[in-house]
Structure 1
Amino acid sequence: MPTRMLAFSLLLAVSCLAPGCHGLEEEKVISLPAESDNEAQMTVADKDAPPAATESVISDAEYREIAEEAFIYGFPMVMNYGVMNEYFLNPDSSQYKCPINQLFNTARVYTPKDTAVVTPNSDTPYSFICADLRAEPLVLTVPKIDPKRYFSFQLIDMYTFNYGYIGSRTTGNDGGTYMIAGPSWQGEKPEGIDKVFPCETDFSLAVIRTQLFDAADLENVKEVQAGYHAQPLSAFLKQPAPESAAKIDWPAVDEKAIKANPFAYLNFVLQLCPATGPAAAEKDLRAKFAKIGVEAGKPFDVDKLTDAQKESLAAAMKSGMEKIAARAGSFGKLINGWSIGAAFGDRDFFHGDWALRAAAAKAGIYGNDAIEATYPLAHSDAAGNPLDGSQHNYTLTFAKDEFPPVQAFWSITMYDGKTQLLIENPIDRYLINSPMLPNLQKNEDGSLTIYIQKDSPGKEKEPNWLPAPDGPIYMVMRLYWPKEMPPSILPPGEGSWQPPGIHPAD
Structure 2
Amino acid sequence: MSEENTHRLVELAAEAYVYGYPLVFDLMMVETCLHKGFGSMAPAPFNHFTHSDRLADADAHFVSVNNDTVYSIAQLDLSGGPVRLHVPDTGGAYYVMQFVDAWSNNFAYVGRRATGTEAGDWLVVPPGWAGTVPGDVRGVIDAPTSVVTIVGRNACDGPDDLAQRVRPLQEQLTLTHLEPGEHRTGLPAPDAGVPEELRFFEQLRVWMADFPPSAADRAYQDRFQPLGLLEEGPSPYVPAGAALVRALTEGLALGKERVEAASRPGAGDGTPGGSGGGWSMNPHLFDYNLDWFGVGTLDSSEWKIADREASYLARAVAARVGLWGNHGYEAVYAQTFQDADGAQLNGAHRYELRFEEPPPVEAFWSVTMYDTPDYYLVANPAGRYSVGDRTPGIVYGDDGALTVHISRERPADPVAAANWLPAPEGDFRPMLRLYMPERSVLDGRYGIPAVRRVDGSAHG
Same fold judged by TM-score > 0.5? Answer: yes
Distance 1:449 1:93 in 2: 30
Matched ranges for 1:28-177 at <5 A: 59-90=5-36, 96-115=42-61, 117-147=62-92, 149-177=93-121
Contact 1:162 1:346 in 2 (8 A): no
Distance 1:419 1:248 in 2: 27
For 2:338, the equivalent position in structure 1 comes to 380
**Cα offset for 1:249?**
6.4
**Cα offset for 1:188?**
5.0
Change (3 A) 1:89 1:315: same
Change (3 A) 1:221 1:187: same
For 1:470, the equivalent position in structure 2 comes to 425
What code does the residue aligned with 2:412 have? G
What is the CA RMSD across the aligned residues, in angstroms?
A: 2.5
For 1:344, the equivalent position in structure 2 comes to 286
Change (3 A) 1:505 1:249: closer
Contact 1:267 1:299 in 2 (8 A): no
Change (3 A) 1:226 1:253: farther
Change (3 A) 1:109 1:249: closer
Matched ranges for 1:55-454 at <5 A: 59-90=5-36, 96-115=42-61, 117-147=62-92, 149-219=93-163, 220-234=165-179, 241-242=180-181, 244-245=182-183, 250-251=188-189, 259-275=197-213, 279-295=214-230, 298-302=233-237, 304-329=239-264, 330=267, 331-333=269-271, 335-341=276-282, 342-345=284-287, 347-348=289-290, 349-350=304-305, 351-352=308-309, 353-390=311-348, 392-399=349-356, 402-436=357-391, 439-454=393-408
**Unaligned regions of 5+ residues in structure 2, if any?**
291-303, 456-460
- Secondary structure of the structure 2 residue equivalent to 1:107: coil
Distance 1:344 1:253 in 2: 32
- Secondary structure of the structure 2 residue equivalent to 1:177: strand
- Secondary structure of the structure 2 residue equivalent to 1:120: coil
Distance 2:208 2:41 in 1: 24
1:505 aligns with 2:454: yes
Contact 2:69 2:154 in 1 (8 A): yes
- Secondary structure of the structure 1 residue equivalent to 2:114: coil
Contact 1:374 1:478 in 2 (8 A): yes
- Secondary structure of the structure 1 residue equivalent to 2:441: coil
What code does the residue aligned with 1:467 have? P
**1:391-413 deviations in Å (ceiling 9; x for gaps):** x11110011xx111111111100
TM, length-normalised to structure 1: 0.80
- Secondary structure of the structure 2 residue equivalent to 1:125: strand
1:482 aligns with 2:437: yes
**Cα offset for 1:270?**
1.1
**Cα offset for 1:451?**
0.8
**Cα offset for 1:96?**
4.5
**Cα offset for 1:207?**
0.3
Contact 1:212 1:221 in 2 (8 A): yes
**Unaligned regions of 5+ residues in structure 1, if any?**
1-54, 235-240
Identity %: 29
Distance 2:413 2:260 in 1: 40
**Cα offset for 1:465?**
0.6
Matched ranges for 1:10-29 at <5 A: none
TM, length-normalised to structure 2: 0.87
- Secondary structure of the structure 2 residue equivalent to 1:170: helix
Q: Which deviates further from its counterpart, 129-138 or 306-315?
A: 306-315
